[in-house]
Amino acid sequence: MLVIPLEANIAAIILNSWIPGIPVWLFSLVITLALTGSNLLSVKNYGEFEFWLALCKVIAILAFIALGAAAISGFYPYAEVSGISRLWDHGGFMPNGFGAVLSAMLITMFSFMGAEIVTIAAAESDTPDKHIVRATNSVIWRISIFYLCSIFVVVALIPWNMPGPEKRRLIPLGTGAASYSTRKIHYGLA
């Protein structure tokens, strides 16, 4: 119930940073209407719409991980990062203690709502003992690749005590792509 407005507002804020002339509320309205319209159409159209949106997200995450890995390993020419040393700089890993990690887990658990759909799908499967095990294992691998690798890239590239996104730059300000890339990295890191 809250996912469509949440996704619409986040997407609207990102689009507004790219096209500041259009207000956030208008982007949010258009996105909400598009998502609602796709839900009201046939199931086939909704499934196709969700498939292509999910594919865009997967490609964006994989590109983020690849660019981050290139920056960490020194293959990205504008990166000011030396390997994984930022994991231990500025007080080390988990400088605010394990309590901060536990409080962040609430947001993390919200992010993974929907993984239980694998068990619900058992009723639809003709051989649930084989299919559910395979589907559950694939969820574990997807979480490992997409979430843990992304978090590792962020933690290895950005010091935890950096004041704000305006300081997060992997491209020098002299290049024309700096502003656009900084926003992309900011929303990738947020």
* pLDDT 10s digits, 135-152: 778 877 888 888 888 888
Question: Closest Cα partner for 25 from 2, 8, 45?
Answer: 8
Ranges of each domain in the chain: 1-40, 57-162
| Residue 21 clears pLDDT 90, i.e. is over it | yes
- 8-state DSSP, 77: T
User: Rounded to 5 degrees, what angle do the CA atoms 62, 186, 150 make?
Assistant: 35
pLDDT confidence tier of residue 82, bands split at 50, 70 and 90: low
CA distance 53 to 103: 30
**pTM of the predicted model as reported, rounded to 2 decimal places:** 0.65
Encoded tokens for 52: 């292509």
CA distance 81 to 9: 33
138: Cα within 13 Å, side-chain hemisphere? 9
| Residue 123 clears pLDDT 60, i.e. is over it | yes
pLDDT confidence tier of residue 22, bands split at 50, 70 and 90: very high
Q: Which amino acid is at 167?
A: K
| Residue 87 clears pLDDT 50, i.e. is over it | yes
| Residue 108 clears pLDDT 80, i.e. is over it | no
